[in-house]
Amino acid sequence: MNDMKSVNALPADIDPIWAGDGSHLPEWFITALSVPREEGYVEISGAKVHYFRWGNRDKPKLLMTHGFLAHARCFAFIAPFFAQDYDVVAFDLAGMGDSEMRGSADTASRGQEFVEIAEALGLFADGHRPTIIAHSFGSGAALTAVTQSPHAFDGVVVCDLMIMRPEMLDGYWNKERSSPGSGNPDKPNRRYPSYKAARERYILSPPQPVAEPFLLDYIAYHSLRQERGEWTWKFSPEVFRRSNTPEEWLHMGKRLAQAPGRKAIIHGSKSMLFSPASADYIREIGGNDIPIISVPEARHHLMLDQPLAFVAAIEGVLAMWNTPPRIDSNEKV
């Protein structure tokens, strides 16, 4: 393959505004974004829900979603690696990315979104049960989904969800001074005179450097929209009308351990939000059967630090779940 490509040969997602001529982009990224996909909207409760879809409709189903204030393109360069063996959907949560806000932003409503999008796109057809793969805030919503509808999903892969012992969480809260993802639902999104001015204001939460800066540029660009010559954030301020208290996060570990069905955890080895102490805590409160995989050199935003290792970690979980259990020769069948 050529190391250099002209802009005209690049996938539509790679806009010159953030990518220039694209010559610095690795071949794997360009190839991933070139994998055929469907992009569209379905209407749910009178609001448009944005999604991408890859792969074969007859294959097992994967349902992917993102963290708070992010969007489905967090998985747009991850999902294509699964297109050969799966029917993969990545969607924008309500009020984020290109999905319109609908209903409430409370915990129960967020969980229901997984069932709604799966039904709308036929992921339950012919007895299929999708496996959920979700990052951060999306993982918390996914735990609600599998708890609300335990027979609807085949498992959930929780990717760097904030889980800490209560005493560690208290220390984190005191240091951060506010809940992660806090904001004012009654304040309109700020507007910027240029993309450059808006891009300078794009930061990750929690703040971190990224190992692959071009991926951060890609995510930042698709977090913004242009209106009447100005740039503003895509997310709706209404997403901040949600429960986001220390009490909620204090119980997140128990929610994960007690959630029905198959669960796996993938986290960054350098994550601020899920550490080896978090893994020990999960095991202590009943999660001994939950596989916990650490992605080396990755922080909270796994897909921006070690995207290919993140793919490999997901592949490992799915391969384990798809392998028939070993039967001991001494056991009766």
pLDDT, tens digit, for every residue of 101-142? 998 888 999 999 999 999 999 999 999 999 999 999 999 999
The C-alpha atoms of residue 254 and residue 72 are separated, in whole angstroms, by 27
| Length of the chain as a residue count | 333
The C-alpha atoms of residue 240 and residue 25 are separated, in whole angstroms, by 35
Q: Are 150 and 129 in contact (CB under 8 A)?
A: no
The C-alpha atoms of residue 158 and residue 253 are separated, in whole angstroms, by 12
Percentage of the chain lying above the pLDDT 90 cut: 82
Q: How far is CA 78 from CA 59, 83, 107, 266, 287, in A?
A: 18, 10, 26, 14, 27
Q: What is the pLDDT of residue 258?
A: 96
Q: Is 167 helix (H, G, I), strand (E, B) or coil?
A: helix
Amino acid at 237: P
**What is this structure's pTM?**
0.93
Q: Are 200 and 313 in contact (CB under 8 A)?
A: no
Q: What is the pLDDT of residue 175?
A: 64
Q: Which CATH code fits 38-322?
A: 3.40.50.1820
Q: What is the pLDDT of residue 2?
A: 37
The C-alpha atoms of residue 223 and residue 160 are separated, in whole angstroms, by 21
Q: What is the pLDDT of residue 5?
A: 44
pLDDT of 196 strictly over 70: yes
Q: What is the pLDDT of residue 248?
A: 81
pLDDT of 239 strictly over 70: yes
Which pLDDT band holds residue 266 (cuts at 50, 70, 90)? Answer: very high
The C-alpha atoms of residue 268 and residue 274 are separated, in whole angstroms, by 7
Kindly list the domain boundaries of the chain, sorted by start residue.
1-34, 38-322
Helical spans, DSSP H, in the chain: 16-19, 27-34, 107-120, 137-148, 166-176, 195-199, 213-221, 246-250, 252-258, 276-284, 302-305, 307-322
Is residue 89 classed exposed, middle or buried when 0-12, 13-18 and 19+ CB atoms within 10 A define those classes? buried
Q: What is the pLDDT of residue 7?
A: 45
Q: What is the pLDDT of residue 250?
A: 87
Give the residue from 170, 180, 141 showing the smallest Cα distance to 158: 141
Q: What is the pLDDT of residue 169?
A: 83
pLDDT of 325 strictly over 60: no
pLDDT of 15 strictly over 50: yes
Percentage of the chain lying above the pLDDT 70 cut: 91
Q: What is the pLDDT of residue 168?
A: 85
Q: What is the mean pLDDT of residues 203-211?
A: 94
Give the residue from 66, 63, 67 showing the smallest Cα distance to 89: 63
